[in-house]
Structure 1
Amino acid sequence: MRADRLVSLVLLLRQHGRLSAAALARELEVSTRTVLRDIEALSAAGVPVYAERGRHGGFALLPGFQTELTGLNHDEALALLAAGSRRGAQAFGLGAALASAMRKVVDALPEGQRATAAGAVQRLLIDPETDLLARRQVAEEVPDAVVAEVRRAVFAGHKLRIRYAAVDQDPKWRTVDPVGLVTVRGQGYLLATRSGADRTYRLSRVSAAEELTEPAQRPDRVDLDRAWQERSTRFRTGGDQVTVLARVNPARRKELAGTALAVLAEEAEDADGGGWLRLEVTFQDPRHAEWALWRLATDAEALSPQWLRTSLRDRAAAIAARYGEPSA
């Protein structure tokens, strides 16, 4: 246990630069006295830890001190950091780097632990491609060369030219200032600005990319989680939103609510209505509303607006007519 704590202490100092004994004690969940004893043990073992006095003092490592894990390169280390989700590493074009990094991690283990780790990992399955109903979760594919170029521009802080196809539009070249990369359920997004305005680009719609040498116009630090939340809110509250009144089988209620932007009202129908629910929900646009109701088939019925009922009826009639004809 102490050996693990000493390694954690060194890594904390590597990542934060300087920390007080109290801060280290909080991170390691031990007393400050234990931290001081650990500092002494590290110094005795040759780890260059030194103390800085004063109000903003603390403990730090000598500049240039590094710990090394079996020669991990930049992309391999990055892949491990993104490996909280295997799909995240894939979405950012780091799948091969992740596999290489994991081989090096296994090689770095003590010989007696390798077999144990290999056996344990066979007992774990994280984020499978299908759920219990055999519905496949398909991650969007982006050419490695494209995502690598995007990734380089993001990390280097350079402007980026992308050939991007917006919905229902032909691909166009545009120059953007990349801010960061986000992956959501296997789909990758580039957060950027263009002429000072926030833009979000789906990586699967980028057919070509070119990192430029010109520095990107962006802040030195960014809170990606907050930026994503803000853009998500703008997306949900903008556009040509439509409100739909629908009846839905209770067994499919969660599915409908999960695809809608918001549930505005909900009530249960009486027994004569079969125990169904009546929901007032909003969707991003007409196409979103039609898709959400159509996928529930006979387990949902759009009551209003009338144009949605007509559109669903016409689509159903066209399919019925197609299957009413003898097959060729």
Structure 2
Amino acid sequence: MRADRLVSLVLLLRQRGQLSSDTLARELEVSTRTVLRDIEALSAAGVPVYAERGRHGGFALLPGFQTELTGLNHDEALALLVAGSRRGAQAFGLGSALASAMLKVVDALPEGNRDTAAGAVQRLLIDPETDLLSRRVVADEAPSAVVAQVRSAVFAGHKLRIHYAAVDQTPKWRTVDPIGLVIVRDQGYLLATRSGEDRTYRLSRVLAAEELDEPAQRPDQVDLDRAWQERSTRFRAGDDQVAVLVRLNPARREDLMGTALAVRSEEVDADGWLRMEVTFQDSRHAEWALWQLATSAEALAPQWLRTSLRNRAAEIATRYEASS
């Protein structure tokens, strides 16, 4: 346990620079006295850690101290950082880099640990391509050459030309200032600005991309999580949103929550069903979501949605009444 903690301490100092004993204790979940003992142990072992005195002091490593895994290139290291989801690495165009990096990691292990790790990997399966019902999980993928250009522009801070196919629109070329990349439920998005306005592009709809030499107009630092939350909030508040009053079998509540943008009200009817007012992105989204719930839901309002669902059901019934 102590050996793991010592490694974590060194990595914290490597990645975050000078840190106080209180900060280290909080990160490592130990006492400050334990941190001081660990610092002494590292120093005795030849690790060049030193103390800065004073109010804003702390501990740091001498500049240039290296604890890196020999042989990992930039893309391989990046792939490991996003390897929490195999399809996440794939969506960022780093699938092959991840495979290569993992081979190097295994090769760098001591022989005994290498055999143990290889055996353990055979006992783990993450994100299989099909679920228990044999339904294939289809990731929202973009061509690797396109993603490579987008990724390069994001990291280099360069402007980017993309040939983008928005929904129900003719594909157009546009020049954007890339901010960052986001993966949500296996769908990749480019966060950018265009003429100073926030824009969000789905990677799978980028038909072609070209990194430009011109620097992007963007802040040096960005809170990507906050930026995504803000854009999500604005998206849910769009002008085309549709409010729907629905009766719902409570067993299907989570299914509805997975598709609706928001729940405005919710109460239980006398028969135990839920009466909910929910919002959807637009009319097409509302009709699709309610249709998925079949007889477990009834749209009470608006009337046009009831009519649309009734007509769709009638067409299906007519199709199956016909003789084969």
The aligned residue for residue 316 of structure 2 is: 319
User: Are 1:86 and 2:83 counterparts?
Assistant: no
Contact 1:70 1:105 in 2 (8 A): no
The aligned residue for residue 38 of structure 1 is: 38
Give distance in 2, aligned partners of 1:268 and 1:61: 61
Contact 1:21 1:59 in 2 (8 A): yes
Gap change, CA 1:325 and 1:97, over 3 Å in 2 = same
The aligned residue for residue 291 of structure 1 is: 288
Contact 1:139 1:187 in 2 (8 A): yes
Look up the SS of the partner of 2:246 in the other structure. strand
Deviation at 1:167, TM superposition (A): 0.8
Alignment-mate amino acid for residue 110 of structure 1: P
Look up the SS of the partner of 2:169 in the other structure. coil
Give distance in 1, aligned partners of 2:270 and 2:42: 72
Instruction: String of CA shifts for 1:127-160, please: whole Å, max 9, x gaps.
Output: 3444444444321121000011100000101111
Contact 1:152 1:211 in 2 (8 A): yes
The aligned residue for residue 17 of structure 1 is: 17
Deviation at 1:187, TM superposition (A): 0.3
Structure 1 stretch displaced more, 120-129 or 5-14: 120-129
Report matched runs for 1:110-149 at 5 Å: 110-149=110-149
Contact 2:159 2:213 in 1 (8 A): yes
Give distance in 2, aligned partners of 1:267 and 1:21: 52
For structure 2, the residue ranges without an aligned partner over 5 or more in a row are none
Instruction: String of CA shifts for 1:7-39, please: whole Å, max 9, x gaps.
Output: 212111111111123322322233334333333
Look up the SS of the partner of 1:103 in the other structure. helix
Gap change, CA 1:247 and 1:26, over 3 Å in 2 = closer
Alignment-mate amino acid for residue 256 of structure 2: L
TM-align CA RMSD = 1.9
Give distance in 1, aligned partners of 2:239 and 2:320: 36
Give distance in 2, aligned partners of 1:298 and 1:33: 63
Give distance in 2, aligned partners of 1:320 and 1:326: 12
The aligned residue for residue 6 of structure 1 is: 6
Instruction: String of CA shifts for 1:151-175, please: whole Å, max 9, x gaps.
Output: 0000101111111111100110000
Report matched runs for 1:245-324 at 5 Å: 245-271=245-271, 275-324=272-321
The aligned residue for residue 29 of structure 1 is: 29
Look up the SS of the partner of 2:258 in the other structure. helix
The aligned residue for residue 223 of structure 1 is: 223
The aligned residue for residue 200 of structure 1 is: 200
Alignment-mate amino acid for residue 73 of structure 2: N
Aligned sequence identity (%):
84
Contact 1:21 1:35 in 2 (8 A): yes
Contact 2:141 2:188 in 1 (8 A): no
Deviation at 1:79, TM superposition (A): 0.9
Q: What is the TM-score with the length of structure 1 in the denominator?
A: 0.92
Give distance in 2, aligned partners of 1:314 and 1:46: 77
For structure 1, the residue ranges without an aligned partner over 5 or more in a row are none
Give distance in 2, aligned partners of 1:242 and 1:279: 14
Give distance in 2, aligned partners of 1:265 and 1:130: 36
Give distance in 2, aligned partners of 1:173 and 1:262: 34
Give distance in 1, aligned partners of 2:30 and 2:308: 65
Contact 2:177 2:192 in 1 (8 A): yes
Deviation at 1:122, TM superposition (A): 2.5
The aligned residue for residue 67 of structure 1 is: 67
Alignment-mate amino acid for residue 303 of structure 1: L
Contact 1:79 1:95 in 2 (8 A): yes
Give distance in 1, aligned partners of 2:45 and 2:315: 78
Look up the SS of the partner of 2:137 in the other structure. coil
Give distance in 1, aligned partners of 2:273 and 2:131: 26
Alignment-mate amino acid for residue 309 of structure 2: L
Deviation at 1:98, TM superposition (A): 1.1
Look up the SS of the partner of 1:18 in the other structure. coil
Contact 2:266 2:277 in 1 (8 A): yes
Look up the SS of the partner of 1:259 in the other structure. coil
Give distance in 1, aligned partners of 2:62 and 2:246: 66
Gap change, CA 1:24 and 1:265, over 3 Å in 2 = closer
